Structure 1
Amino acid sequence: MHQQHELEDAMRRALQLAGNGPAEGVNPRVGCVILSPAGDILAEGWHRGAGTCHAEVDALAHLDADAARGTTAVVTLEPCNHTGRTGPCALALIEAGVAHVVYAVADPGPHSSGGADRLRAAGVDVTGGVLADEAQAFLADWLVSARLGRPHVTVKWASSLDGRAAAADGSSRWITGPAARQDVHERRAAADAILVGTGTALADDSALTARAADGTLLARQPRPVVVGRRPVPAGAAVHRHPLTPWFLPGHDLTALLHELHGRGIRRVFVEGGPTLASAFVRAGLVDEYLVYLAPTLLGGDRLALGDIGVTGITEQRRLRIGQLLRLGDDLLLVAQPAGAEGPGADQTDHIDQTTRAIPAALNQTN
């Protein structure tokens, strides 16, 4: 039997391997390490995207016949138990003669879960939860997508210390400094799509691209999505984005997210002004908050958030601070809903089913 530290070391390596897989699309990034009874790494594998071998099968393919018998497979996600474009990984491990399977996070998919039970029924020793926190952080966007059938939603805003997103005349460039702005661009690049309302698209005329400090485009770009009914002129900057923008009229945020999920969007970056941000908060559809705070005071009524459905202190939306970062003179708070027990945990206690609709004010300038 392997020591705990050996399994954790192998799991960290499996997480590294998982990072080689594509960050976009509907499939998770998964890594697998095959250990000999003595603890040596015999094979490694990872999932390269839809239609390709899953990580476990990829690792097994590097071994000769019967070489996996009696080994331990360390995999970042519970082996799947369904047949899609490829067969069930649980069955592949059983047929290869793997004696022990270690995984970090259970598969939440209604059609793909159950691999651990199938392995145990076949006499395979199964251990779950090894480096679960690290794996959940790595798979956060996919776990939300798999559990809820919608993309992981990050809402971002920048504000003064007194919570204002703009001065009284509406001007907002620039509240934060260059280090904070560059951090935003790098986080944009990590998303599959960036959402703004039509009011913000018209007022700011942003290209919604992810750029380096010198203004050049980063290698990976988010899909620009403009939400609302007001037409965006053909000459608007968003039309010059490397990816064709999507214009979605949507009234219902849940339906909007399900549509994006159906188009292969797994991580959404909401940067579209107070109206759109407030609508997502009010609907209880935010998985992560990015709040950039500048050491300045603006006063006035240009708040970073508007009505989020809180009428009394007992209805406040409590958050859990995950990170507090210094970016030049500015601060970045990374937070999650306090009621969320992990990626994709449904915040139903905070959701008013009547407030999921995008307000008509979205079409106004934010």
Structure 2
Amino acid sequence: MPEPGGYEALMSRALELAHNGPATGINPRVGCVIVGADGGIIAEGWHRGVGTAHAEVDALGKLPHGRARGATAVVTLEPCNHTGHTGPCSVALIEAGIARVVYAVSDPGHASGGGAARLRAAGVEVIAGVHAREVGAFLNDWLTAARLGRPFVTVKWASSLDGRIAASDGTSQWITGTAARQRVHEQREGSDAIVVGTGTVLADDPSLTARGDGGELLAAQPTPVVVGTRSIPADAAVLRHPHTPVILATHDVAGVLRDLRARGFRRVYVEGGPTLVSAFVAAGLVDEYLIYLAPSLIGGDRLALGDIGVTTIGEQRRLDIVSVEQLGTDLLITARPRATAASTPKEGIQ
């Protein structure tokens, strides 16, 4: 059996397995390897989505009865401690006779957390914090949603270098090039829901689908969400979306997120327009910014953001740049609200 400090390679393997899980939906992507007394892997598992076996149970289910007794489970996320669609993984590990559990990051969920304490109370050795930074980055969207009790919110806009999203006559197609626009479709595909305001539907009549280079529908489609109190036309393109649109006649963006969380959405992609985007920013409800910049100047007052509550320079919303990528002649800047030490997973054995 590996020493307490020798689980990095096994955790890396568990993380590889976690990538097999679905990137959308309310549940996290989790991987697990079970290691025998000789340090060799005897079973592997991962979570395949809501209603399916969690990673630990998936791995245990591949072993004959009694084979897990005295073994070590290496799992990317602290084993859950509640009954939802399935039972608690902490109990499953205890009943299987697992002697040691190694995990990367703690479960911040009010209902699902606490598995480590339950394991320790049952006499199972628990080691936490192995590859916490790497796994924490992978699970960032789910951890944020679990900690805040709402979906992870990505806001996207495309603008000229001077921050304009349209010309003075309202035309905006196209500010950015084909490579940037295709990346947007890929990001839509990786989201549970795509959110726009009624103003965008009335002005642009978007379909809000995720499409490939040839205009074909991609395999996964976000559920379209239209927010606002104005009526939309009966023949609006969004009403022909593969998923039935969610129409929310409100301006309460926090309420919108509560609704979408209740529907089982983990990742929400807010795509417009400036009134809706500004409301999310002003409310402090944005976890990630995707800003596409075209090498052009437009001028005028069609800005990407309106009033976000900043009245003096000391109130400006500070961001951390995560990455800058060139797509054709355009730039994609990925940024997040400035991180605090408390929000950064700690690496190391705990």
Shorter-chain TM-score above 0.5: yes
Look up the match of 1:280: 280
Look up the match of 2:292: 292
Q: Deviations over 1:297-336 (max 9, x none)?
A: 1111111111110000110100011111111111111111
What are structure 1's unaligned runs of at least 5 residues? 346-366
1:24 positional shift: 2.9
* Cα distance change on mapping 1:342 and 1:244 into 2, 3 Å: farther
1:209 positional shift: 0.7
Q: Deviations over 1:54-80 (max 9, x none)?
A: 211111111122221222111111011
Look up the match of 1:359: none
1:86 positional shift: 2.5
The answer (yes or no) to whether the contact 1:141–1:343 under 8 Å persists in 2 is no
| SS of alignment partner, residue 271 of structure 1 | strand
Report the number of matched residues. Answer: 345
Look up the match of 2:144: 144
User: Aligned partners of 2:334, 2:4: CA distance in 1, in Å?
Assistant: 31
Q: Deviations over 1:158-217 (max 9, x none)?
A: 111111111122211111111111111100110011011111111011101111111111
- 1:301-320 pair list within 5 angstroms: 301-320=301-320
Look up the match of 1:263: 263
User: Aligned partners of 2:233, 2:340: CA distance in 1, in Å?
Assistant: 40
1:121 positional shift: 2.1
1:69 aligned onto 2:48: no
The answer (yes or no) to whether the contact 2:274–2:305 under 8 Å persists in 1 is yes
Look up the match of 1:88: 88
| Greater shift in the superposed pair: 159-168 or 86-95 | 86-95
1:147 positional shift: 1.5
Look up the match of 2:114: 114
Name the amino acid aligned to 2:139. Answer: L
Look up the match of 1:190: 190
Look up the match of 1:56: 56
Look up the match of 1:217: 217
* Cα distance change on mapping 1:21 and 1:343 into 2, 3 Å: farther
* Cα distance change on mapping 1:256 and 1:341 into 2, 3 Å: farther
1:5 positional shift: 7.9
User: Aligned partners of 1:237, 1:341: CA distance in 2, in Å?
Assistant: 45
The answer (yes or no) to whether the contact 1:143–1:343 under 8 Å persists in 2 is no
User: Aligned partners of 1:257, 1:337: CA distance in 2, in Å?
Assistant: 18
- 1:141-180 pair list within 5 angstroms: 141-180=141-180
User: Aligned partners of 2:173, 2:4: CA distance in 1, in Å?
Assistant: 52
1:124 positional shift: 1.9
| Greater shift in the superposed pair: 266-275 or 129-138 | 129-138
Q: TM-score, normalised by structure 1?
A: 0.90
Look up the match of 1:334: 334
The answer (yes or no) to whether the contact 2:319–2:337 under 8 Å persists in 1 is yes
Name the amino acid aligned to 2:65. Answer: A
Look up the match of 2:44: 44
* Cα distance change on mapping 1:156 and 1:343 into 2, 3 Å: farther
* Cα distance change on mapping 1:2 and 1:344 into 2, 3 Å: closer
1:283 positional shift: 0.4
The answer (yes or no) to whether the contact 2:71–2:99 under 8 Å persists in 1 is yes
* Cα distance change on mapping 1:111 and 1:326 into 2, 3 Å: same
Q: TM-score, normalised by structure 2?
A: 0.94
User: Aligned partners of 1:229, 1:17: CA distance in 2, in Å?
Assistant: 44
- 1:26-41 pair list within 5 angstroms: 26-41=26-41
* Cα distance change on mapping 1:83 and 1:290 into 2, 3 Å: same
Name the amino acid aligned to 1:302. Answer: R
* Cα distance change on mapping 1:207 and 1:341 into 2, 3 Å: farther
Name the amino acid aligned to 2:161. Answer: L
| SS of alignment partner, residue 182 of structure 1 | helix
The answer (yes or no) to whether the contact 2:189–2:218 under 8 Å persists in 1 is yes
User: Aligned partners of 1:5, 1:200: CA distance in 2, in Å?
Assistant: 53
The answer (yes or no) to whether the contact 1:194–1:268 under 8 Å persists in 2 is yes
The answer (yes or no) to whether the contact 1:33–1:74 under 8 Å persists in 2 is yes
The answer (yes or no) to whether the contact 1:209–1:221 under 8 Å persists in 2 is yes
The answer (yes or no) to whether the contact 1:147–1:344 under 8 Å persists in 2 is no
Q: Deviations over 1:24-44 (max 9, x none)?
A: 332222111011233211001
User: Aligned partners of 2:84, 2:269: CA distance in 1, in Å?
Assistant: 30
| Greater shift in the superposed pair: 228-237 or 119-128 | 119-128
- 1:118-137 pair list within 5 angstroms: 118-137=118-137
Percent identity over paired residues:
67
Look up the match of 1:247: 247
1:91 positional shift: 1.9
